[in-house]
Amino acid sequence: MIKIEQLTNSYVESVRNIKLAAEQITFSGTPEEFLLDTSETTDLHVIKYDEAVVGFFKLDLNYSSNHSFCHENSIGLRAFALDMRQQGKGIGTQAVKALGSYLQANYSGYHSIYLTVNCKNPKAISCYQKGGFEDTKETYHGGAAGPQRIMRRKIAQEG
């Protein structure tokens, strides 16, 4: 079972033990870089599978200030990474799907979540789409590793 939780000190060593392939590091950074983010507008999270930490990601609460494609009252998903030993099992897609209800429960004050994913990473694009993100058909050119697709998902329920 997939569970998403905010990073606490008890998970730091587990995050450090996550193994990423070189191409993953290009897209998401290392576990150590993830842990060094102490920004007050970034919330660090872990992905757990059967109670073991298998991945991590950041929610950037100030994303719309730094990315013109991101509408106000929206947040950004950054540095989403899954341990290379856990890939190919559907865990990434399950985690992205679980993110929807997690955001509704914990970030309901925001309307949408945005992300950019490298155009050279079709597996990640597919994972995000299966998990409920839509491709905006726009390209972001500000990434260090080349052009990226812009994707978004609603958080707030229409009502």
Asked whether residue 159 is domain-assigned, the answer is no
Q: What is the DSSP string of 62-129?
A: THHHH-TTSPTTEEEEEEEEE-GGGTTSSHHHHHHHHHHHHHHHH-TT-SEEEEEEETT-HHHHHHHH
Tell me the sheet residues that pair with 77.
59
Question: What does each of the 159 residues of the chain score in pLDDT, given as a tens digit?
Answer: 999 999 999 999 999 999 999 888 888 899 999 999 999 999 999 999 999 999 999 999 999 999 999 999 999 999 999 999 999 899 999 999 999 999 999 999 999 999 999 998 898 999 999 999 999 999 999 877 789 999 999 996 654
pLDDT of amino acid 121: 87
Q: Looking at residue 120, which CATH number applies to its domain? A: 3.40.630.30
Contact in structure between 140 and 150 (CB atoms under 8 Å): yes
Show the domain range for 128: 2-154
**β-bridge pairing 112-118 and 74-82:** parallel
Task: Tell me how many domains the chain contains.
Answer: 1
pLDDT of amino acid 131: 94
pLDDT of amino acid 158: 53
pLDDT of amino acid 91: 95
Say what the pTM is: 0.93
Asked whether residue 147 is domain-assigned, the answer is yes
